[in-house]
């Protein structure tokens, strides 16, 4: 069976074929703010394939456009949804549908890597943090603006402040570096505080797992982290595996 995985985020679509070992293969990313995004996706898709699994946090209109393109090529399509319990993970939210499916799948992927306590940090349009204890119980999380979004908001409010450029320094001596240091430092501070409080709550230090399109910028500031840029696709692979005959989520 040929299966493909699609992670439709707020700024990019990431896709990969599911390998025989049950993991995502080579990942391709498309920015969906680009002209001709759907046509570029169509050119990348196989002419015919068995099934596709899609996880989307994008707008309904964009999700529908991607679904229409997939329907042309795949015999079956499944749309991943956040569940109260799945594959050893139990969600903290009283209304699981309010938890973004990308965060849900990232936790599923973390649990599949190891049944231990995790602090899962996703960096995209937003920065998200989720605490998962060693028993698979989601203890809750946080959502804040990513460094890129902070830079964009500052530039929009004050056009003379550049939206890009600069390097992280603890105490910068020019504007570009100061902006990079302030916005990246705010995200790093959020992670460090959350990790400190998580350690107090769990009475152990959770492993830090970093993923997402903007994660690379924070990686150097979090040297103890495990880097998994395609973590949501890993979780989607677990979702796809559970849908095969003879498999069921626990």
Nearest to 30 by CA among 74, 66, 80: 66
Cα distances from 77 to residues 61, 66, 80, in angstroms, run 17, 11, 10
Other C-beta atoms lying within 10 Å of the C-beta of residue 160: 6
Exposed / middle / buried, residue 36 (Cβ in 10 Å: 0-12, 13-18, 19+): exposed
The beta strand positions in the chain, using DSSP E, are 3-8, 12-17, 28-31, 49-56, 74-79, 85-86, 89-90, 118-123, 126-132, 138-145, 207-211, 226-227
Active site residue 133: no
- Spot the catalytic one: 20, 21, 33, 102: 102
Residue 188 is inside which H or E element, if any? helix 175-202
What amino acid positions are annotated as catalytic residues?
102
């Amino acid at each position: 069976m040929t299966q493909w995985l699609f992670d439709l985020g707020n700024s990019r679509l990431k896709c990969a074929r599911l390998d025989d070992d049950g993991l995502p293969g080579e990942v391709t990313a498309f920015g969906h703010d680009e002209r001709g995004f759907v046509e570029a996706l169509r050119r990348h898709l196989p002419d015919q394939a068995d099934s596709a699994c899609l996880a989307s946090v994008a707008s309904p209109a964009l999700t529908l456009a991607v679904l229409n393109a997939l329907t042309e090529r795949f015999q079956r399509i499944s749309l991943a949804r956040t569940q109260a319990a799945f594959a050893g993970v139990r969600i903290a939210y009283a209304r699981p549908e309010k938890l973004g499916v990308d965060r849900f799948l990232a936790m599923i992927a973390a649990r599949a890597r190891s049944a231990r306590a995790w602090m899962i940090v996703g960096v995209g349009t937003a920065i998200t943090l989720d605490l998962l204890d060693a028993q698979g119980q989601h203890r809750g999380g946080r959502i804040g603006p990513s460094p890129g979004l902070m830079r964009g908001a500052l530039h929009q409010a004050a056009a003379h402040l550049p939206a890009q450029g600069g390097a992280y320094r603890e105490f910068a001596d020019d504007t570009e570096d100061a902006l990079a240091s302030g916005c990246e430092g705010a995200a790093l501070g959020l992670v460090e505080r959350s990790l400190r409080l998580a350690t107090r709550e769990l009475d152990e230090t959770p492993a830090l797992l970093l993923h997402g399109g903007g994660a690379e910028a924070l990686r150097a500031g979090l040297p103890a982290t495990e880097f998994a840029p395609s973590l949501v696709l890993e979780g989607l692979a677990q979702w796809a595996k559970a849908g095969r005959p003879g498999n069921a989520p626990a």
